[in-house]
Every structure is written in C-alpha cells, then in structure tokens.
Structure 1
Amino acid sequence: MCGIVGVVGVREATPLLFEALRRLEYRGYDSAGIATLVNGHIERRRAEGKLDNLGRVLELRGLPGVTGIGHTRWATHGAPTEGNAHPHGTERVSIVHNGIIENHAELRAELELQGQVFTTDTDTETVAQLVDLNLKQGMAPREAAHACLKRLHGAYALAMIFAGHRELMIGARHGAPLAVGFGDNEMFLGSDSLALSPLTRRIAYLADGDWAVVSRDGAEFFDMDGNAVVRQIRLSALAADAIGKDGYRHYMDKELHEHPLVIGQTLQRMIDPATRRVVLPELPFDLATIPRITVTACGSAFYAGLIGRYWLEAEARIPVDADVASELRYREPPLSKGGLGLMISQSGETADTLAALRSLRAGGQHVMSILNVPESTMARESDIVLDTIAGPEICVASTKAFTAQLSVLACLAIAIGRARGVIGEAREMELVQALLDLPSRAVELFGLGDDIRAAAAIIAEARDVLYLGRGSHFPVALEGALKLKEISYIHAEAYAAGEMKHGPIALIDKSVPVVASAPSGPLFEKTASNLQEAQARGGRLLVFTDPAGAARMGKIAERLVVLPEVHGFTAPILHSIAVQMLAYEVALLKGTDVDQPRNLAKSVTVE
C-alpha cells in the first residue's frame, strides 16, 4: 500500500514531506521520492529501498521549495528501481499515484503516437504524460488534470504539482483514499490522516470520484463532471502514533473501501503489464512437475484456500487437498513426493498454520506461502512467498487481506495451468482480463449500500441465518457466515446449496433468513431450485446475484442485491466483498464492537 503526501505553503516542503513519509512507512514500500518546485521548475530526488536511502540523497543534494509531493512506493508495474520510483513527470508536471490505471497500455500507445516519450515501466507515467500533452496543447493545469482524470479507468489516488505554479496542487481519488489537510497559510494532501497528523487536525476526505484544487489558502472540491461539491472539514484526533480511520466510522469500514486498491496492487505485482501474462517470482522447483497440492490455513484464509482449490483443479487440472491447519497434522495424510504445501496467512505468524508448514516440510513437500507480512516467521521458513499487497489490516475480522489472497490464488492457478500445458494463451488472456476488470467492479459495490442495508435489517432481527452457495461460491457462503458470527454475534451456518435438503432444510421457517451467493452461470438453475425449496417453506431469501440472475430470482427473493456482472472465474471475489459488507451493516444495527469483537484476536499465535 503506497503512501502519498503533498504540501503547498510557506515553510520548506522537503522536511515536512520526508517526516510525513516516515509516518506512512507502516504501509510497506520499496522505494521513495520527493519533488518540489524550485524557482518555478520541478526538481526530484528519488531512491530505491528505505527512506534512509532517500535521506542520504537529500543530504548530498538538497531540495528547497515550499510546494512539493512525496511518495513511498510498493512496486507493482515495473521493478523497485530509482527510475521507477515516484514522483514521475515531465518538465511541466510531476505526479504521485497509488493504485492501478487499468487502461494505461491503451493510453500509452495513443500518447506515444502523439510524440510523448516514456522513460519508465510504470502505469503512473501514463497519467503524467497525458496531463503533459494537455498542457502542451494550451490547457491550464486544472483543465489539463480534469481532462486526464475523465479518461482514467481503475482505482487510484493522485497528487500533482505544476511548473510555474507555486501555489497549486491537485489531488484526485477513485477507489483509493486521499485526504486534504487545512493548515495556517498552508495546505496538505495525504493518503491518510496519520501522514498529516502533526501538520494539522483539520481534515477533509475526498469521496470517490472527487478531485480537489489546493492552494495555500484553501481547497476547492469537484466531482468528475466538474461540478463544485462541498466536503466537510473534520477535526481529527491528533494521534501520530496510531493508524487512523481516515473519516470512516470503523477500521473495518475503511478496509472494506480499500478492496479495489488492494486487489489492483496485488494483481499488478503478479501480472506483466506489457504482456498481460501472470509472472511469478523465480521458483526453486518446477510447477509443471508438482503431482499434488496441499492447501492449509485458518479462518477466512482457509476459505480463500477453498476457493483457490476450485480454481486450481478446474483451470490447472491438478489434484488439491485442503485442510484447516489445526487438523492437518493430526490427520497425518499421505503426501505425494515432490508435492507442494500451499500456506495462506495474513500475519505469517498463525501458530496452527506455522505448525502445519513444518509438518509438510518434514513430509518432503515444497512450501509456498501467500502472506501479507513478508518479514514474518512463515516467510522465513518457506521456499517461496507470494505477497499480498494489502497493507496493515487493523480490524480483527479479515476483509481486504481475504480478497488479496484470492487475487494471488487466481493468478497462481493460471500460472500452474500454463506450466502444465492445460491453459493456452487465449484462455490465460481471458482470465487475466477478467482479473484486471475487478478493481473497477469492486468500486461499484459501494453504490449498493441501500440494498445491502435493507437486507441487513432483516438479518439483524434473526437468531439464526443460513448461507448457501454452489461450486466456488460455497466458500463465499462460508466466509459470509463467519463474518456475521464474528462481528454481529448472530449464529450462522453455511452449506453447499445442494446439501440443504439433506438436513438443514428442517431449520427453515420465516424466522430463519437464507442468504445466497448465486451469480448467473452453469450452476445457477440448480441453486435457484434449492432456493425455491427454501422459499416454499417460508424461508426469507436474500440473494446476491447479477443482472441476469436477478431476472430469475426476483419472483422468489425477498431482497435482491444485484452486483455488477463479471466473469464467472472472478465472481467469488466480488461476492466475497458483498457478504462482508452485509455483515458490517448487520453489526452496525446490533451495536457491537465491529473492530474488536469479543473473544477474538487479530493474529492467533497460540494453538
């Protein structure tokens, strides 16, 4: 999770920017940089690695100026080199960026035809070059920025400064957080309130689709159509030693809204932007020769592994076992020689998963881990680690880490299928494109709040809830039921939809809501039939589906939540976000402690 900071004012900008970047180190990064206006011209200092390296560069080559932007980058497009470090730009404009520009390849090709010269491998430079072209064509900075923003697809936060405009900075947000800080005769931009906390307590948060024109005297806010909008200035708690909620009611709410950015950044780490093919780190074993995979994890991470099992078996055609880590050792399964143990953990310190790793290692398995903390114990004991670019997850109930894990598992299934010769180039391109479409579709979910809250009102009155799903949506049902139990304390159970009539149907009456994840596709008719059986027995059906599914479900469901249409391969990721959002809204109605539910810990480091 990269970090953005900007300042326009009267004090030297570089010391303020550098210390703000220090406060953003918690997000993780592998390069950093600062750009300021010096006598009206843009100058930059950048460095690979940690901020100390940038500090040494600044000691050797100072960077004056009272207007500037800074960035900590976690490499996605392009290697973590000084050349790919932010800020990017031209002699006219400099830009820092968090997120993913989904249509950067098309824009780059167009811009190169018009004579723009690119010098990096990043998607961010496309934004700088498009703004630069607009400026060369005679647009003023705010006009050039707005024209550029209207052409961008993806999830992003941006900050820009312009040569010759000492008292101007422009910020924009779509699916990635950005805040404006109000000081005395100076103004700030930041990825979150933590970056700005020692500088000001007066914060305004951009809504999705907002862009802001910031000067030393204040800020003007606009929507994507260019209409002026009003954003409330809040008085933040001055807590420079804590990660802030950035205007959200809870950390969980904030982390739910980070799904698009997290998915995009994780995919960028695993997909080559030029070829649009999945690229894994160099492996110490051959994927083509692995006879079997054993997936193990705990809690939500295990449900991610179950969805991954469907993908690995269907697309890569490789046998997969899946066990909760707390049971794997005691089952003592026979292990195939040269098999792969696939571990999944947010923290990399989960005691049961770590013990399972050591058990698989002792059984002669290669070990691959999907982790959000690359310095963890599990990372050190693995043959290879696939990073999830989720940033810190503060809420005990896992949200964004779950979809990051799913993004990695989807890419891994494609890579193994290609290595085994069962996925051709056309199929890979189809699946990769489906993944790259996800961040934008995830942003659209936040427009469904009224429908999700209406469903939540029904569930909040219940003592018991059933969740149903078929195929790769059965683990989605498991994740939905777990989230509801964790944060609302309502009893919930999940079943494969076809199993309902083998027992659970006895529980169904008008007091037991039934929540279903049921996108259109090959399994839709069977799921619809199961739901009709529940409805015939008085069940109150709350169905997550897509427009095609809604046309069938509308007659039997009490509440429909119609999600954006996506490829069947990626639908479990989108539906997972939706069931998490439902649990959050129910918890709000129940008045529970959303971020720190009773009896639970973020990282379970004991057996």
Structure 2
Amino acid sequence: MCGIVGYVGSKKAAPIIVEGLRKLEYRGYDSAGIAIHDGNGIEIVRALGKLARLSELLEKRTLEGTTGIGHTRWATHGRPSEVNAHPHSSGVVALVHNGIIENYVALRQELEKEGVKFSSDTDTEVMAHLVHRELTRGAKPLFKAVQRALGHVHGAYAIAVASREEPDVVVVARYGSPLVLGVCEGESLCGSDIPALLAHTRDMIFLEDGDVAELRATGIRIETVTGEEVQRKVRRIDWSPVMAERGGYKHFMLKEIHEQPDVVEATLRGRVDLVNGDVHATEIGVSPELAREIRRVYITACGTSHHAGIAGRYWIEQLARVPTVVELASEVRYRDPIFYPDDLVIAISQSGETADTIAALKAAKAQGAKVLALCNVVDSAIPRASDGALYTHAGPEIGVASTKCFTTQLAALLMLAVYLGRRRGTLDEGRARETLQALWEIPNQMRDVLGDADYVHAIAKKMTHAKDVLFLGRGLGFPIALEGALKLKEISYAHAEGYAAGEMKHGPIALIDETLPVVVICPRDAHFDKTVSNLEEVRAREGQVIAIATKGDEQILEKSQYQVWLPKVRDEVLPLLTVLPLQLIAYYVAHLKGNDVDQPRNLAKTVTVE
C-alpha cells in the first residue's frame, strides 16, 4: 500500500522519482504526485489514477530541480481524488506519508482552533501542518521541526519532507511503516521498498522505528525522534530486480504469506479501542440505531472469501446474537432469494470486482436490504455499489491463491462482530476487551507460527505424492479446513476436501487408508474432545494424521504422525493462526511439484465473469 520515493543529488529529480514509483506499482495505488524543489521554491504536481497520467502532466511542465519527493497513494482517509493525493503542503513544507495517524482527528481539531484551513480529507495533511507549525515556532532546520512534530503523532508512518527554505535536503522518518535509504556517491535516495532504489545503488540502510534521517547529496545523518544520534548498518543488496519486487522471496505467494502479520496490523490499526473494549468503524455506515434494528445478517461471497464468511457467521451469531446466513454468491440470484429492509447483507470480495458477488448484492439492494462491502481494493465496483465499506488494507495481492486477503477478512469480520455486539448490547465491555486484546496480539503470534515454516516444509515433502488429502475441523476450524483444501487444490492440483469433522463418518471415512494424509485442526478449543474422537477414527483406519494443535499437547503428540504447534490463544482468534500452516503446506507441495505457484493453471485473480 502506497509508495514513497525521494532524491537529493545533482541529477534531475523528477524522472528518477517517477521511475522509482513505477517500481512500487505492485503495492497498489489510486493516485500519484511529486514535489520538486527548483532552487527557488517547491512545485507540486498530482494526478488521480495511474502514473501514466502523472507522466502526461509532467511532460507539460519543466521541473529542473535536483531535490524532490514522490508518492503513490492507496486511499485510507478520504476517497481517491487529486485533492487527497500526496504530496500535501503547508506554508514552506511539502510532505508525503504512508501509514495511518491514529490521533489525527484530535490533531486536526487542535490545528483548526489555531486557524489552520484544511484542503483535503486525509490524515497526512495534519502532519504537513504540524511540521510547518514547528518551523514557525523557531524549530529549525527542517530536521528539528520534523522531530518535534512527530512528538505529537500517534500511529504508523513513513514520511518524506521537503522545505522551500532548504533546497538541498529531504528529511524522512519511520515508525511501523517501512522506509529504505539508498547510499550513493554524490546523492542520497529513499524508498518504501528496495525495488525503487536498485537502479541507482545496491547499498542501503533500513531505518528502524523511531528513526529520523536527513538526506543530503553529501551523505545521510540519522537520529531518533528524541534527538539521540544513531548509526545504522549499510547493507549490500544482491537481489535481481524481479527478486526485489518479491522482497527476496521465491514467489509472491510466499512473500504474501509472510506479510500477514503486518497486514493484519494494518487492518486493526486505528480501529481497535482496547481501553473501552470497542471498535471504531464509522466508515462502514452502520449506525448504533441500524445495528440494533438488524434482524438478520446475510453474508455472500465466493471461494476463499466465502470461507471467511463462514467464520464471520460464528462470530456475528456468538457476539452480536444476530441470525446469520452465508451463501455462495454464484447461487444467490438463481434461486430468487428473499431479502428484507432490516437485513444487513455483507458482500465479501478481495478484488471488489467479483461478478457473482456484484450480482448478489444488486439482488439484495433491489429488495431494500442494507449492503456492506468487505473489500481490499478502495473504490472498486462492490464498494461503489454498496451502502458502506469496510476495507481490509491488505495491500495488493499478486499470487492468485489468496492468503493475506483471507486473514485480513477474518480480522475485519471479527471486529465487525464486536462492533455490532457492543451497539446491540449483546457483548459486554469486559468480553469485548478480552476478544480485542487477543486480536491485537495475533500479529506477533502469527510471526511465531510462520517462524516454523521449515518444519512445515518437511511435512509437505511427505505429502508431495498424495493424490487425495482430507482436511477436518469443527466450529471455527471447519471454514479453515475448507480453506486449506482449496489452497492445496488451487496450486498443487491434488484433490483435497475440507469437511466438518463430525461429518467424516457420513461418507469420507470410506476413503481413509494408510495412503491418505488427513490434516486435523485440533487446537485446545471448545471442540477439542469431539475433534480428537474423529482423529482417533482416522488413526484406527491407518490414515496419516497431520495435526494442527496447541503447543505442548501430549495427547495429540501420541495420536498423530506429524504436528504443527500453535500458541494457546482465545478460541475467537484461532482461525488467524490455524490457517497459516495450511497455506504453507499448499505452497511447499506445489513448489516441490514444480508448479507455477503464483499463476496456477486455469485460474484468474479477479473473476469478472459468471
């Protein structure tokens, strides 16, 4: 999501910045802009849409400056528009920003009381005004003003700042959002990711949280926000350009699997209120009054998004106590379904362009139902056709087999269940706080699980030649079993089925013999004893049991051939952990078979036909 490029040196900055932004297009964006210091002042050019539009505008201008900053924006606060595009300015300052400023509303109100006029809906403009305010209060040079301004900010940011008063300087800072510096002879660069800089240097500095850096043609100086001078190691990057776009991973899918802790944090950021046990999500358009009036929630989606919807049904019914239906979007309009004005229809799609889901939501709206889009792509077709939108902020997903979009959908649905439950009075503050605290801690626990990827790789080697695989789960483990089977089918081309564990004896048990791998999702949750009884049935027929279980569970260790261990967490957040080893299994099996992991046969990333 979003991309930053900055340059200080002796060459024309504009072409270097635009080309760097092109290398970041894979991150996704809806607008772009550039600010160039020409020695006398700063000229800003911004455009809605792709970089081609910005390039057209730049062809009509003469930007000779050798210092500048650029940005591709993926909308969070404020719709995609030229006005909301970066860079933003205030007085002598131009600024670009990735991330979310959590206290921007309070800061904006404070600045407005001081007479500041805002020209956009973004949280970023607040930061430009803060830096300018510090300059007017005497905090100079720009480096010092940025440090002081950041002392007022809570949230995640990577910023690059230029000032009309300092033509040979760009100041950058990061906290919770990546920023890389390029070290060259006679020039300095910054970028959101390595690909933006590789054409100019392979020597890079990775800023750490709380770092503020001053970029000059003569070199780079780094301090913390509090003014402590620090040294960061210069690293030599040996990646090819294609590897650089994949962050050094062999495939986009593997990169996206490992991005999940970060993108789940992005989904939660600015929305979770741990103090009051609540969720701030006014953008979805579900008022407290509407939340109380809902008589039924109707979730519709396809594929992986449908599996997320099944998990959402558990959460909404348990926490908000609303009857909830989940239906495949491809079936909705062909059976003439009935919708009511007091239905809340949730249309889930990672792309926002899924044809079947669009048709389903249109059928719901035609009968007067309220429609909420749960989507990753801002201003795509499904959000535009809906009454409100809950964006997941997963960033672009290149691999056709969805991974990070799925886990961010899970996080968003659990937040939505809490949001509804608090407003309906069915969820008390204590339980809400415990649930949200568990969700808030999940990204770090996801990192721990992904740290065992090598062990999962060893298990996948044992499954490479399997023609059939069975996935079993109960409760919130059931949609994860479905998702695990789908992932394996999509990219390894092995036949796989996901089943509710209790249904195994109603048919699939006939398939079990010593050649069949059976993945059993059996953490220590409310369904543990019943799931273990199904695991025993597999063992009795000599099936190969791969258990996804809670760390230290001796009972599971005795009853399974292979185990992937998870930390002990609340039942509500288990799906965000249990799915990770299943994604890795699918990836490694497909890779070991030599398949095209990112572009599996016969599949498309966005399904725009029925």
* TM-score, length basis structure 1: 0.76
Q: Secondary structure at the match of 2:571?
A: coil
Residue 589 of structure 1 is aligned with which of 587, 592, 598? 592
C-alpha RMSD over aligned residues:
5.3
Residue 361 (1) aligns with residue 369 (2): no
Residue 488 of structure 2 is aligned with which of 478, 484, 506? 484
Give distance in 2, aligned partners of 1:527 and 1:484: 22
Deviations 1:350-381 (A, max 9, x none): 22212212222233322211122333332232
Residue 468 of structure 2 is aligned with which of 464, 468, 472? 464
Q: What does 1:497-516 align with in structure 2 at a 5 Å threshold?
A: 497-516=501-520
Give distance in 1, aligned partners of 2:210 and 2:537: 46
Q: What does 1:418-457 align with in structure 2 at a 5 Å threshold?
A: 418-457=422-461
Give distance in 2, aligned partners of 1:235 and 1:217: 28
**Structure 1 residues 599 and 526, CA gap change in structure 2 (3 angstroms):** same
Range that drifts further, 590-599 or 347-356: 347-356
Give distance in 2, aligned partners of 1:379 and 1:181: 38
Amino acid at match of 2:410: L
Give distance in 2, aligned partners of 1:205 and 1:539: 51
Cα deviation, residue 172, structure 1: 7.5
Give distance in 1, aligned partners of 2:218 and 2:270: 39
Deviations 1:263-310 (A, max 9, x none): 122222644698663323262771211111111111101001111111
Are 1:307 and 1:475, in contact at CA under 8 Å, matched by a contact in 2?
Answer: yes
Amino acid at match of 2:319: E
Are 1:205 and 1:231, in contact at CA under 8 Å, matched by a contact in 2?
Answer: no
Cα deviation, residue 33, structure 1: 8.1
**Structure 1 residues 532 and 209, CA gap change in structure 2 (3 angstroms):** farther
Give distance in 1, aligned partners of 2:155 and 2:515: 41
In the alignment, which residue of structure 2 is the partner of 1:111?
Answer: none
In the alignment, which residue of structure 1 is the partner of 2:558?
Answer: 555
In the alignment, which residue of structure 2 is the partner of 1:135?
Answer: none
Amino acid at match of 2:285: L
Q: What does 1:89-238 align with in structure 2 at a 5 Å threshold?
A: 98=98, 185-192=186-193, 195-196=196-197, 199-200=199-200, 202=202, 231-236=236-241
Cα deviation, residue 160, structure 1: 9.6
Q: Secondary structure at the match of 1:258?
A: helix
In the alignment, which residue of structure 2 is the partner of 1:520?
Answer: 524
Amino acid at match of 2:280: V
Cα deviation, residue 98, structure 1: 4.8
Amino acid at match of 2:550: D
Amino acid at match of 1:191: S
Residue 280 (1) aligns with residue 291 (2): no
Amino acid at match of 2:265: G
In the alignment, which residue of structure 1 is the partner of 2:11?
Answer: 11
**Structure 1 residues 352 and 78, CA gap change in structure 2 (3 angstroms):** closer
Residue 406 of structure 2 is aligned with which of 397, 402, 422? 402
Amino acid at match of 1:283: G
Residue 328 of structure 2 is aligned with which of 324, 330, 346? 324
**Structure 1 residues 425 and 560, CA gap change in structure 2 (3 angstroms):** same
Cα deviation, residue 585, structure 1: 1.3
Q: Secondary structure at the match of 2:529?
A: helix
Range that drifts further, 496-505 or 456-465: 496-505
Are 2:352 and 2:382, in contact at CA under 8 Å, matched by a contact in 1?
Answer: yes
Deviations 1:318-347 (A, max 9, x none): 001111111222333443442122111122
Deviations 1:172-195 (A, max 9, x none): 898x76666566644533234553
Amino acid at match of 1:373: V
Cα deviation, residue 430, structure 1: 2.2
Are 1:206 and 1:231, in contact at CA under 8 Å, matched by a contact in 2?
Answer: no
Are 2:33 and 2:72, in contact at CA under 8 Å, matched by a contact in 1?
Answer: yes
Are 2:514 and 2:543, in contact at CA under 8 Å, matched by a contact in 1?
Answer: yes
Give distance in 2, aligned partners of 1:154 and 1:579: 32
Q: What does 1:249-268 align with in structure 2 at a 5 Å threshold?
A: 249-268=250-269
Percent of aligned positions that are identical? 46
Give distance in 2, aligned partners of 1:159 and 1:543: 47
Deviations 1:431-482 (A, max 9, x none): 2222222232233333111111011111212111111111011101111110
Give distance in 1, aligned partners of 2:568 and 2:172: 33
Q: Secondary structure at the match of 1:342?
A: strand
Cα deviation, residue 494, structure 1: 0.8
Amino acid at match of 1:604: V
**Structure 1 residues 79 and 396, CA gap change in structure 2 (3 angstroms):** closer
Cα deviation, residue 31, structure 1: 8.5
Cα deviation, residue 524, structure 1: 1.9
In the alignment, which residue of structure 2 is the partner of 1:2?
Answer: 2
In the alignment, which residue of structure 2 is the partner of 1:138?
Answer: none
Residue 549 of structure 2 is aligned with which of 541, 545, 549? 545
Are 1:84 and 1:121, in contact at CA under 8 Å, matched by a contact in 2?
Answer: no
**Structure 1 residues 51 and 474, CA gap change in structure 2 (3 angstroms):** closer
Give distance in 2, aligned partners of 1:203 and 1:398: 33
Q: What does 1:325-344 align with in structure 2 at a 5 Å threshold?
A: 325-344=329-348
Give distance in 1, aligned partners of 2:342 and 2:469: 42
**Structure 1 residues 26 and 461, CA gap change in structure 2 (3 angstroms):** closer
Give distance in 2, aligned partners of 1:282 and 1:514: 40
Cα deviation, residue 577, structure 1: 2.9
**Structure 1 residues 67 and 456, CA gap change in structure 2 (3 angstroms):** farther
**Structure 1 residues 97 and 528, CA gap change in structure 2 (3 angstroms):** farther
Are 1:17 and 1:69, in contact at CA under 8 Å, matched by a contact in 2?
Answer: yes
Cα deviation, residue 27, structure 1: 4.0
Cα deviation, residue 544, structure 1: 2.0
- Any gaps of 5 or more consecutive residues in structure 1? 109-119, 133-140
**Structure 1 residues 390 and 476, CA gap change in structure 2 (3 angstroms):** same
* TM-score, length basis structure 2: 0.75
Are 2:5 and 2:17, in contact at CA under 8 Å, matched by a contact in 1?
Answer: yes
Residue 567 (1) aligns with residue 570 (2): yes
Cα deviation, residue 401, structure 1: 1.4
**Structure 1 residues 237 and 161, CA gap change in structure 2 (3 angstroms):** same
Give distance in 1, aligned partners of 2:236 and 2:554: 38
Q: What does 1:530-541 align with in structure 2 at a 5 Å threshold?
A: 530-541=534-545
Are 2:183 and 2:205, in contact at CA under 8 Å, matched by a contact in 1?
Answer: no
Are 1:45 and 1:54, in contact at CA under 8 Å, matched by a contact in 2?
Answer: no
